[in-house]
Amino acid sequence: MKAIATVSMYDMGAANRDGLKHSQSLEQRKQIIAQAAEQRYAEFTGGKVEYTGGTVLELKADTHPIQREFFDFYRTPRGEFTPASSTPQQTTRPTLSSNTKFMNFYPFVDIESISPRPMLFIAGADAHSREFSEGAFRLAGQPKELVIVPNAGHVDLYDRAELIPFAKLTQFFKSNLK
């Protein structure tokens, strides 16, 4: 039997459509789509590619806590990687014209059809992305399990070995990979 485990999940479709904790209105979404359409035409006619979102390049006094968390991973030796064909200004940053494709991305459609294969969802108790793991867990069929790791944020579960529940992962896969 195959088994599936997810750690520090992001539903990029929902994040782009609705914002974190549904903080983006339909009107704001329409405005983003209109800006992307204008940008796509500008690029078609030879205009400069514009980037959006992603991780900030430097921290300031008013940098949002989520950006600080991502900066701590993606902009430090802890997790920074810039391919030779790119620049730090482009890594982690989608283009304005292509990012809207996520608005039509629904990764959890039919998630219940994975059943009866076991699913393990792992999220940090302090993760801003916890809502996505909890949402996927609610939609998933059985058997399923949700593990919330105390004192962990989103990126902590990428590489902070003392926080990653290795014993749980080992038990899960030993029990379910047969």
Q: What is the rounded radius of gyration, in angstroms, for the C-alpha atoms of the chain?
A: 18
| pLDDT grade for 71, boundaries at 50, 70 and 90 | very high
Please report the pLDDT score of residue 127 as a whole number: 96
Nearest to 16 by CA among 121, 106, 122: 106
Q: What is the pLDDT of residues 21-62, one digit of tens each?
A: 999 999 999 999 999 999 999 999 999 999 988 999 999 999
pTM across the whole model: 0.86
Q: What is the pLDDT of residues 138-175, one digit of tens each?
A: 999 999 999 999 999 999 999 999 999 999 999 999 99
H or E element, residue 119: strand 119-124
What is the three-class DSSP state of 87?
Answer: coil
Residue 162: DSSP 8-state = T
Q: Which domains occur in the chain, in start order?
A: 4-20+102-176 (3.40.50.1820)
Residues 27/19, Cβ–Cβ less than 8 Å: no
Please report the pLDDT score of residue 99 as a whole number: 86
Spatial separation of the C-alpha atoms in residues 48 and 59, rounded to whole Å: 26
